[in-house]
Amino acid sequence: MSMNTGPDRLGELTEPAGHATPAYPIGSVDNTLRILLLLRDRGSLTLAEVSTELGIARSSAHRLMAMLTYYDFVRQSPADRSFRIGLALVDIGLAAARTLDVRALARPILTGLAQSTGMTAHLVFPRGREVLFADGVETERTIRAALRTGSTLPAHVTSAGKAMLATLSDDQLRQMFSKEPPQALTDISVSSLSALLREISGIRRSGYAINHGESEPGVLAMGVACVVRGAELMVGLSVAGPDFLLDQAWEEQVAQDLRQAATELAKQIETYNL
């Protein structure tokens, strides 16, 4: 159990500030990323400029821009044939900004959860069949669950992950796990789709999910989904600690705290997006 006691011209850059040069750089990836940074700084690029800045043949520049255009990372103006930032890149930027905004809005709520429950609180983002622990606040208790911030786990072995899976229909879950069934991480973890669907049914009724040793032996967690319809956003909130905390009073009180926290976070996000 994890318990705690620069320069104007990109062509002149040798390496980004604060980062060492990769041991095994990939030329095509390097050139692609440099193109995106050039577009960030200049707003538009011609094919000749790409060729000159990267020091590559015009034909190579054309192939790179064709691939970026295919994925809508760049768009070519029909008027002057210059390249500009495409919608896919804009969407990535907006998603990143929204992620940072949600973390900022959730931080005081996580702090409140850690204080009221005496457990480590996490903000969790869905990533398909996995979840990302995006932020967390530790309780001041000496024996506590460790922060998982920055780590990913299968959704079906985490409390917040299961709560978010419960917002999907059974047909959506069958499609999600059609190629590969849920895999157990511990002896307690769900390891079949039928078992997961049965558990999900109970989570929909209660409105919260419990992870009792499914991701790690000795760890107890409870999570809820926070669905913000107006912002087309869903995140999870969870609290975790040692499993000796589990009793009927704990479950009822923590479920209430999590529901209130999810309601408050949804309100904050909706207000922020007005």
By C-alpha distance, which of 42, 27, 34, 41 is closest to 82? Answer: 42
Whether residue 124 contacts residue 158, with contact meaning beta carbons closer than 8 Å, is answered with: yes
Query: Any idea which of 52-56, 92-96, 100-104, 162-166 has the lowest mean pLDDT?
Result: 92-96
Per the prediction, the chain carries an average pLDDT of 84
Q: Clarify whether residues 111 and 25 are in a common domain.
A: no
- What's the pTM value of the predicted model, to 2 decimals? 0.67
* pLDDT per position as a tens digit, 76-127: 888 788 898 887 877 777 566 566 688 999 999 999 999 999 999 999 998 8
Specify whether 80 is located in the same domain as 201: no
Phi, psi of 253 (to 5 degrees): -70, -45
Residues 196-205 have pLDDT tens digits of 999 999 999 9
**Does residue 256 sit in the same domain as residue 147?**
yes
Q: How far, in Å, CA of 242 to CA of 157, rounded? A: 16
Over residues 214-260, the pLDDT tens digits come to: 988 888 999 999 998 766 789 999 999 988 877 778 899 999 999 99
CA 20 to chain centre: 26
| Together in a domain, 61 and 110 | no
Spatial CB neighbours of 44, under 8 Å, sequence gap ≥ 6: 77, 82, 83, 84
Average pLDDT over residues 10-27: 54
- Reply yes or no on whether the pLDDT at 15 is more than 50: no
Q: Which residue has the higher pLDDT, 65 or 4?
A: 65
163 plus 182 within the same structural domain:
yes
In a domain, 5, yes or no: no
pLDDT at 25 over 70: no
- Is 70 exceeded by the pLDDT of residue 266? yes
Rg, the chain, Cα only: 23
d(CA 219, CA 56): 54
- DSSP for 179-195, written as a single string: SS----SSTTS--SHHH
CATH number for position 215: 3.30.450.40
Residue with tokens 């760049």: 74
> Which structure tokens are listed for 17?
């500030």
State what percent of residues in the chain have pLDDT above 90.
41
For 267, the domain range is 94-272
* 140 or 197, which is more confident: 197
Domain-embedded: residue 1: no
- Asked if 65 and 196 count as a contact pair (C-beta separation under 8 A), the reply is no
Q: At what angle do helices 58-70 and 47-54 cross, to 10 degrees?
A: 120
Number of structural domains the chain divides into: 2
CA of 68: how far to CAs of 25, 60, 92, 142, 191, in Å?
20, 13, 14, 51, 40
Could you give the CA distance from residue 228 to residue 217 in angstroms, rounded to a whole number?
Answer: 32
How far apart are the C-alpha atoms of 151 and 128, rounded to whole Å?
Answer: 15
Longest dimension (CA), the chain: 70
Cα–Cα distance list, 76 to 72, 126, 221, 256 (Å): 10, 33, 50, 53
Has residue 2 been placed in a domain? no
CATH of the domain at 53: 1.10.10.10
pLDDT, tens digit (0-9, with 9 covering 90-100), for 64-73: 999 999 988 8
